């Protein structure tokens, strides 16, 4: 009979691991015991037994609580990884009980996830009720890299030029770019504006390189001007939120602007620009390397375009 690789850890149970993680997070044994439905004495014995199994103290006790030793910090990281894996197994088990026997992963940027995919994925699930669709937000170039490295096989990306490197693609969405401004902004009552005329005002910029703002910056340079950023944020939704607080302008896809118009105090203004179209493509690896479920999702994306933005939203 094969001997266990770590005989010193035999007898360790999941409840003790969860308790230890709670103690590290709370910095207090009493609070952790209460959160894990244990008496303080029972919790203390479990922690002491755990330290004995590891072979060294993991916690420093002091008047107001506990803190991990240097070894305790390392053990806590390993414990979190173990609990994450167990949570993953629990999710798989729950999915199986619910009849979800297949799985597919789809990468997409924020606009794709919030504006294009909800209705499309609902229709896919209606046709494939046994499939769990995992949708992960990813920046467009990160999506291309993930597909090239086989971390995923299908993604939706906004790119000015489709990346090469062996990936396949097809056009998915094309829609206008619009300017959003607070209703009190000097441009707030305009129905249409030339992009170069907006450059006298400040914008909300993006922290990462943007397929929207890159070409617009070039257009501004050609006009002898520049896009001046009042603040930088992590995505287009956050840019709209800043605009709604009266902090500048932003250029975003029309569908996003219209969906947020009713929630925030935004004016949506048609933009006259050389670069006033937002395009998304579906990127994918060769279909021979896909599972049957992945091919089904790819066909669904190819044949089920998202609804166009409703001007009244």
Q: Is 14 exposed, middle or buried (0-12, 13-18, 19+ CB in 10 A)?
A: exposed
Say what the pLDDT of residue 310 is. 53
Say what the pLDDT of residue 4 is. 46
Report yes or no: 275 and 168 within 8 Å, Cβ to Cβ: no
Report yes or no: 179 and 250 within 8 Å, Cβ to Cβ: yes
Say what the pLDDT of residue 36 is. 87
DSSP assignments along 75-126, one per residue: HHHHHHHHHHHHHHHHHHHHHHHTT--EEEEEEE-HHIIIIIHHHHHHHHHH
Ordered mean pLDDT values, 10 residues apiece, the chain (313 residues): 47 82 89 88 88 88 86 88 71 52 83 90 88 86 86 86 76 93 93 95 83 90 92 88 92 92 89 91 92 92 78 43
Whole-model pTM above 0.75? no
Residues carrying CATH 1.10.10.10, the chain? 7-97
Distance in angstroms between the alpha carbons of the first and the last residue of the chain: 67
Residues carrying CATH 3.40.190.290, the chain? 173-278
Report yes or no: 308 and 175 within 8 Å, Cβ to Cβ: yes
Say what the pLDDT of residue 187 is. 95
> In this structure, is the dihedral angle defined by the CA atoms of residues 291, 294, 296 and 302, taken in order, positive or negative?
negative
Alpha helices by DSSP H, listed for the chain, are: 14-26, 29-35, 40-54, 70-97, 110-111, 117-127, 140-148, 213-222, 236-244, 254-261, 292-303
Q: According to CATH, what is the number of the domain 7-97?
A: 1.10.10.10
Report yes or no: 187 and 198 within 8 Å, Cβ to Cβ: yes
CATH topology of domain 173-278: D-Maltodextrin-Binding Protein; domain 2 (3.40.190)
Was domain 102-163+282-303 assigned CATH 3.30.565.10? no
């Amino acid at each position: 009979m094969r001997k266990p690789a770590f005989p010193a850890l035999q007898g360790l149970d999941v409840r003790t691991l969860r308790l230890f993680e709670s103690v590290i997070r709370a910095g207090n044994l009493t609070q952790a015991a209460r959160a894990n439905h244990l008496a303080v004495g029972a919790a203390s014995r479990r922690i002491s037994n755990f330290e004995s199994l590891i072979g060294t103290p993991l916690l420093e006790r002091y008047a107001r609580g506990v803190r991990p030793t240097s070894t305790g910090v390392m053990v806590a990281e390993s414990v979190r990884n173990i609990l994450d894996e167990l949570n993953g197994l629990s999710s798989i088990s729950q999915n199986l009980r619910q009849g979800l026997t297949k799985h597919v992963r789809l990468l997409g940027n924020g606009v794709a996830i919030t504006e294009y995919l909800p209705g499309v994925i609902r229709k896919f699930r209606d046709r494939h009720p046994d499939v769990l669709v995992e949708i992960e937000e990813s920046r467009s170039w990160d999506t291309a890299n993930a597909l090239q490295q086989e971390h995923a096989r299908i993604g939706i990306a906004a790119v000015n030029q489709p990346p090469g490197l062996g990936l396949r693609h097809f056009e998915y969405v094309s829609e206008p770019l619009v300017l959003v401004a607070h209703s009190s902004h000097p441009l707030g009552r305009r129905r249409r504006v030339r992009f170069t005329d907006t450059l006298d005002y400040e914008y909300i910029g993006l922290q990462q390189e943007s397929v929207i703002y890159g070409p617009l910056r070039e257009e501004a340079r050609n006009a002898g001007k520049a896009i001046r950023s009042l603040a930088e944020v992590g995505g287009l939704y956050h840019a709209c939120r800043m605009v709604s607080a009266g902090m500048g302008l932003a250029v975003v896809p029309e569908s996003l602007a219209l969906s947020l118009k009713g929630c925030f105090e935004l004016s949506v203004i048609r933009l006259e620009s050389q670069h006033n179209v937002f395009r998304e493509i579906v990127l994918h690896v060769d279909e021979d390397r896909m599972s049957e479920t992945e091919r089904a999702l790819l066909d669904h994306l190819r044949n089920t375009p998202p609804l166009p933005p409703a001007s009244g939203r």
